[in-house]
Amino acid sequence: MSIGPALRYHWNVNLLGRAGLRWVRWQAERRVKRGAHGKSHILTPPLKISARTKELIGRHYLKGRYANLRGKVAWVTSGAPIEFLKALDFYLLYPENHGAVCGTTRTAVDICAQAENAGYSRDICSYARTDLGTMLSCQTPVGKLPKPDLLLTCTNICQTVLHWYRVLAHHFDVPLILIDTPFVYTETTDHSVAYVKRQLEEAIPIAEEVAGQSLDERKLKEVTRLSKLASELWLELLGRCRHRPAPISVFDQFIQMAPIVEMRGDNFTVDFYAAMLKEVDERIAQVIGAVKNERKRLLWDNLPVWYRLRYLAEFLGRHGVVIAASTYTNAWAELTPKMDPERPLESMARTYMYPILNRGTGDKLATMRQMIDDYRLDGVILHSDRSCKPYSVGQMDQRDRLIRDFGVPALLLEADHNDSRSFSKEQVANRLDAFIEMLEV
Ligand code: SF4
């Protein structure tokens, strides 16, 4: 890196930016200490560590803003095997996470409109539309996204990403690596692990060429070790919600999951989740629940409704309902045992074939059934997500089977993860009211 860009990066990210974000965090922590976040008789205030979460996310996007000055950038899908890119010092941008930021800041619809005006249908995933809208207009609530030098996509979550990333590759004129993962019906086979591993082996020289350096095996093992450590802590954190009352709700988990998705493989992510676990354990020791008057406990299926997190948390909390677990946040925890830092490529192949969206719907139902038992849950809300078809497919059958075969009350709730035009407040309120009434019987 030449001296001018290096100095600009250092000044903006490590000096000015770091100090600014630290100041914001310090003020937020002071507000928490003073109890200035307002007293709610429904919900316990967010975890104290939330100020640090915001700082981490802010720093991630700040680094991204200047990343093209410092080195190479890869845009990657959320479930992609990223460890080899991390070991090659790529800055990693996750368009889906950026989409979630647009969702929570309620800027997604305006940005999606940019893609729709260019001819992309509203039936396409709203993360993809958000990202393509940003690509076309540079609109983003985080200031600026870095241009990619490389794209990595993996079919373990859906086929949409394949078409979406082809558009990105064409627009930015950069190489696209595609990792194809065979569908897992019950268990992964050695043959399919070898197939994915071979693709990773073929991807490495492409990434090395873009990065301008060779992959260091020791560094890859270290990144895999850190990914595993962070995932283990995330698994433990989620497991703490087996307690009654649940110390954090799924709405807290949705906010706190950003680092495990986009910062796994970093040592500060491990420290961050260790600190969070400590705070959650303090809550458990003091019998503090996320919902102050917890009476009923539910499971959430599918992606969050990013632009209505607070509304849903308060609506349910008012009735003493906590959502204590979700198949979505669990997706970044349940893969943990498969990671093996000593055999990084093989374990990467095995691990990344296993996300919930790459498994049969029967397997997903079995996971839900197990979670209902483990977390002692009273019912399930299945978010029927208009523009995430792979997660929503089979939900009607899953709801029917939960009710009929297992005697577990279940509700199908129609919305969309990022497009608030598909959310009807009145309809959602009516359906939730009726469901809660049924739970009380
Ligand atoms: S369609 Fe669903 S799984 Fe695919 S990128 Fe969109 S939200 Fe993710």
Question: Which residue minimizes the CA distance to atom 7 of ligand 1?
Answer: 388
Q: What are the tens digits of pLDDT across the range 188-234? A: 899 999 999 999 999 999 999 999 999 999 999 999 999 999 999 99
57-85 mean pLDDT: 96
Q: How many residues does the chain have?
A: 441
Enclosing H/E stretch for 325: strand 321-326
- The C-alpha atoms of residue 52 and residue 276 are separated, in whole angstroms, by 10
Confidence class of residue 36 from pLDDT cuts 50, 70 and 90? Answer: low
74 pairs with which residues across the strands? 92, 150
268 alpha carbon to ligand 1 midpoint, in Å?
A: 28
Q: Which stretch of 34-43, 79-88, 410-419 has the lowest confidence by average pLDDT?
A: 34-43
Phi, psi dihedral angles at 47 (to 5 degrees): -55, 145
Q: What are the tens digits of pLDDT across the range 372-384? A: 999 999 999 999 9
Among all chains, which residue has been given the structure tokens 């959602």?
428
Measured from the CB, is residue 273 less than 6 Å from ligand 1?
Answer: no
Residue 37 in this model has a pLDDT that exceeds 80? no
Measured from the CB, is residue 388 less than 6 Å from ligand 1?
Answer: yes
Measured from the CB, is residue 160 less than 6 Å from ligand 1?
Answer: yes
70 alpha carbon to ligand 1 midpoint, in Å?
A: 30
**Pocket perturbation via mutation, ligand 1, pick of 76, 121, 127, 164 by most ligand atoms within 8 A of CB:** 127
Q: Which one-letter amino acid corresponds to residue 255?
A: I
CA 22 to chain centre: 24
- The C-alpha atoms of residue 265 and residue 274 are separated, in whole angstroms, by 15
Q: What are the tens digits of pLDDT across the range 390-410? A: 999 999 999 999 999 999 999
Tell me the residue ranges of DSSP E strands in 110-194.
150-154, 176-179
pTM summary value: 0.95
Measured from the CB, is residue 125 less than 6 Å from ligand 1?
Answer: yes
185 alpha carbon to ligand 1 midpoint, in Å?
A: 20
Confidence class of residue 3 from pLDDT cuts 50, 70 and 90? Answer: confident
